[in-house]
Amino acid sequence: MKKVMLIILDGLGDRPHPSLKYLTPLQAAEIPNMDLMASKGLLGMQYPIAPGVPPGSDTGHLSLFGYNLDEEYPGRGIFEALGEGITLRDGVAFRANFATVSERNGELIVEDRRAGRISGEDAEVLASEISRMSLLRGEVEAEFVHTLEHRGFLILRGDGLSSQVTDVDPHEVGYPVLEPLPIEEEAMKTARALKEFLIRSHEILKGHEVNRRRVKEGKPPANFILPRGASKPVNLERFGDRWGFKPAAVAAGPMYKGIARALGFEVHHPEGATGLPDSDFRGKIREALDLLGEFDFVYVHMKGTDVASHKKDPKLKVEVLERIDEALEQITDPPEDLLVVITGDHATPCLLGKHSGDPVPILFFGKGLPRDDASNFHELDASLGGAGWFLGGDLMKLILNYSDRSLEYGLRPLPRRRWYIPRREELTPLRI
Amino acid sequence: MKKVMLIILDGLGDRPHPSLKYLTPLQAAEIPNMDLMASKGLLGMQYPIAPGVPPGSDTGHLSLFGYNLDEEYPGRGIFEALGEGITLRDGVAFRANFATVSERNGELIVEDRRAGRISGEDAEVLASEISRMSLLRGEVEAEFVHTLEHRGFLILRGDGLSSQVTDVDPHEVGYPVLEPLPIEEEAMKTARALKEFLIRSHEILKGHEVNRRRVKEGKPPANFILPRGASKPVNLERFGDRWGFKPAAVAAGPMYKGIARALGFEVHHPEGATGLPDSDFRGKIREALDLLGEFDFVYVHMKGTDVASHKKDPKLKVEVLERIDEALEQITDPPEDLLVVITGDHATPCLLGKHSGDPVPILFFGKGLPRDDASNFHELDASLGGAGWFLGGDLMKLILNYSDRSLEYGLRPLPRRRWYIPRREELTPLRI
């Protein structure tokens, strides 16, 4: 049995870019360590969710971790909250930013989705004005929790609430704020309560002296709360229980820490890890190697690649890839019992500056694996690799297979259906 | 319309092996006939069940034959019994070996899963002592049927029994015998009855004079019956009805004959076919060609490849492949109306000595098929072949397609949904 290091390079997959002479960032980058692993290992292509479907940061990860999005996805809010250290126990929670809107023909147009990245006392004072609100004549109680900068969470509590409402945030500047619509009939009340909160909090915020002062200072007023990602607290099956691992995570971005916490990973955030292109990638891999003493599955998240893609900056992405490659030198001669897997949670083509539904290259590297002729870690070689093309939802089963942990189909040592060879302590010996 | 010969080389797929200079057995073997068919035919890769999932011998075959394991798999026992010529009509049946256990701290540790391959009079005398037992104060009747060597079947009969109990056999020497646990509530009674049988038969066997004598002779005592693969007799839809063929099988291994019988194949076991590496492969192919006069689908099973893999003997696997290849010379110039398909029911990498969830190469060969550039029958070329990558559950639909038997989706000549062009006698003509 092998231990596993799963390295997710956020937004890894890409397309040819004119400023890279129509190469992809992976093709243009000098990445001798990844290429070495590719030539000795097994390449393939995976669609994190499904062909052509662009994953979100949360949904791409959940699918790769082997969770069925159609049945198990609780909405984004709870992962974001967990990432900020907030555990939601009841109600319906929304990620909710301070934003700047302006009225035009009776619509509210989003001018700035982050209200100029408002922070400090301004944000605290405004948050305190709307921190509690009684809605629908007392049937629903609202709580707004401010976290960092423009960020916060809105929680609605009361009987008969549902997370099946649409996003208020249009996700685009210049677009109107959206009416919250019920996705199912049971969500009518939630939609009405949310609408009341939006209108009343806008009333309070738009005339507030803090915002009047900000306008005078040429700063965008934080005159609206923009909710999205409605979710209900759920107990997702722990990753360790589902796949038979003792898992740890090395991550810096709040969202990724939140997902890891929700799935029961022990989360480590090494000093120097920033969730940005300047992160200490070397330190992250070192930390992951250390953790492999105590844990048998370590997930490492690197955000820099995605940040460069969102900036539409392929040269920055090349730089980030080259710095990550230097860090990977530490695992090019891995221990006998280590399976290394490198892939992304989605493609973020620099040309688009946003997530796409393109396939993402994946690399399996370790002793005793199948091999192929592919010798470079990039989209073209990966598309011809010996691991073929597969769906992200099958990744964990392939990881079990290549770490020699798969249970033969049909064997039934445990009452619950499992894909992995059970640990000794999970078995119930016959007592005579 | 073509006839079909489906040749399953058991445990075909493999990985690079150090003793083959890091080639796979298929790469290392001299197999000019398979290579000829590969160069003229169509190669691909299939996951018999799903990516990364190691099939059992039974489940791999069922999936390739187009049966949905989640809904139709009745457990392994009935196929094993049918292979030994025993048709189970009622009750719950388990494959059940004579085994050797030793007591340690109140647990029974498996020392030998086959009790030194006990056979002959020893096995018969011991079996006769436990052949009938009344359990749960007469509510359940147990019957133990000894077949060959250490092998046998345990059948429980009575009201309210279920096959949804876990395996008692831990499948690993040195592991404890497992308590049978109900997978569903309705299986409580079965689990209790089974436990009573285990304890009482152990009492009878452990002190039996045959075993006392065996211990004196330095042989492992057959002091335990180790059940697994609980199953209930079911009526699986006949293969011929499901896919529109008149099917025959050429096989020697009991398990494979059992599956073929359960699915309504006419089973042929040619002289000289042993289910081992020394089998008369040439005779099997000759028999299959003969049967194509009367039948339009002939399944040929060759076990030798898997036996070599389980022995972790890649050179033996190469030898077996080369001997099979010689036998295949008979079909390198096939009749106009024959589609030949060669694949495996799972990979058994010699490096692991057990089934894995790796993909398995597949070859379609016949007149008028698509072609590709792949020219050798091995994992690498297959991964780039023109048949692409697919799931074993889709194989029969592909076979219908390449034998010109597929019904266009949306056409409905019959009340029941069918994938094949119905035979004339299945149609209901309008009478005027």
Mutate to test the interface with A, among B178, B184, B203 (most CBs of A within 10 A): B178
Return the pLDDT at B66: 98
Task: State the Cα–Cα distance between residues A392 and A60, nearest whole angstrom.
Answer: 8
Cβ neighbours of residue A200 under 8 Å, at least 6 residues apart?
Answer: A133
Q: Do A408 and B170 touch (CB under 8 A)?
A: no
Query: A424 CA to chain B: closest CA distance, Å?
Result: 8
DSSP state at residue A180: P
Q: Do A409 and B53 touch (CB under 8 A)?
A: yes
Is ipTM strictly over 0.90? yes
Residue of A nearest to B44 (CA): A388
Instruction: Return the structure tokens found at A291.
Output: 């953790």
Radius of gyration of chain A (CA): 23
- Spell out the domain ranges in chain B: 3-71+235-426, 88-231
> Which residue from A371, A394, A401 is facing B54, i.e. has the nearest CB?
A401
* H and E: helices and strands count for chain B: 15, 14
Give the pairing type, strands B107-112 and B132-135.
Answer: unpaired
Return the pLDDT at A389: 97
Task: State the Cα–Cα distance between residues B305 and B88, nearest whole angstrom.
Answer: 30
| Residue B49 confidence (pLDDT) above 90 | yes
Residue of A nearest to B55 (CA): A409
pTM of the model: 0.94
Q: What are phi and psi of B193, to 5 degrees?
A: -65, -45
Task: State the Cα–Cα distance between residues B371 and A403, nearest whole angstrom.
Answer: 35
Q: How far is CA B255 from the centre of its chain?
A: 5
Mean pLDDT of chain B: 96
Amino acid, single-letter form, for residue A300: V
Return the pLDDT at B275: 82
Q: What is the CATH number of domain A3-68+236-426?
A: 3.40.720.10
Q: B3-71+235-426 domain in CATH 3.40.50.970?
A: no
> Which residue from A389, A402, A411 is facing B171, i.e. has the nearest CB?
A411
Query: A312 CA to chain B: closest CA distance, Å?
Result: 34
Residues forming beta bridges with residue B104, ordered by sequence position: B107
Q: Do A430 and B179 touch (CB under 8 A)?
A: yes
pLDDT tens, A328-355? 999 999 999 999 999 999 999 999 999 9
CA distances to A65, A176, A398, B111, B236 from A395, in Å? 7, 39, 5, 36, 32
Task: State the Cα–Cα distance between residues A14 and A10, nearest whole angstrom.
Answer: 11
| Residue A432 confidence (pLDDT) above 80 | no
Query: B17 CA to chain A: closest CA distance, Å?
Result: 8
Q: What are phi and psi of A225, to 5 degrees?
A: -110, 125
CA distances to A28, B250, B347, B399 from B376, in Å? 33, 26, 18, 21
Return the pLDDT at B89: 85
**Which residues numbered 307-326 in B keep a CB inside 8 Å of some CB on A?**
none
Q: Do A398 and B166 touch (CB under 8 A)?
A: no
Q: Which residue has the tokens 């076991």?
A: B269
pLDDT tens, B326-344? 999 999 999 999 999 999 9
pLDDT tens, B303-318? 999 999 999 999 999 9
Residue of B nearest to A370 (CA): B15
Q: Do B52 and A404 touch (CB under 8 A)?
A: no
> Which residue from B54, B175, B178 is facing A406, i.e. has the nearest CB?
B54
Question: Comparing C-alpha atoms, which of A309, A322, A262, A349 is closest to residue A84?
Answer: A262
Return the pLDDT at B148: 84
Return the pLDDT at A395: 98
Q: Any CB–CB contact under 8 A between A138 and chain B?
A: no
Chain B hits for A410, Cβ within 8 Å: 55-56, 58-59, 73, 75-76, 229
Counting other chains too, the contacts that B84-90 makes at CB distance below 8 Å and 24 or more residues apart are B84/B147, B84/B148, B84/B151, B84/B153, B84/B254, B84/B258, B86/B145, B86/B147, B86/B153, B87/B233, B88/B155, B88/B233, B89/B233, B90/B157, B90/B233
User: A372: helix, coil or strand?
Assistant: coil
pLDDT tens, A89-145? 889 999 999 999 999 999 999 999 999 999 999 999 999 999 999 999 999 999 999
Q: Any CB–CB contact under 8 A between B59 and chain A?
A: yes
**Which residues numbered 315-374 in A keep a CB inside 8 Å of some CB on B?**
368-373
User: B203: helix, coil or strand?
Assistant: helix
CA distances to A129, A380, B135, B196, B425 from B192, in Å? 64, 58, 9, 6, 50
Q: Where are the beta strands (DSSP E) in A275-371?
A: 297-302, 338-343, 360-365
Q: Do B380 and A388 touch (CB under 8 A)?
A: no
Q: Which residue has the tokens 């109107």?
A: A176
Residues forming beta bridges with residue A225, ordered by sequence position: A98
**Letter string b/e over residues B285-304, b meaning 16 or more CB atoms within 10 A of that residue's CB:** bebbbebbeebbbbbbbbbb
Task: State the Cα–Cα distance between residues A387 and A377, nearest whole angstrom.
Answer: 13
Task: State the Cα–Cα distance between residues B168 and B112, nearest whole angstrom.
Answer: 14
Confidence of residue A200 (pLDDT cuts 50, 70, 90): very high
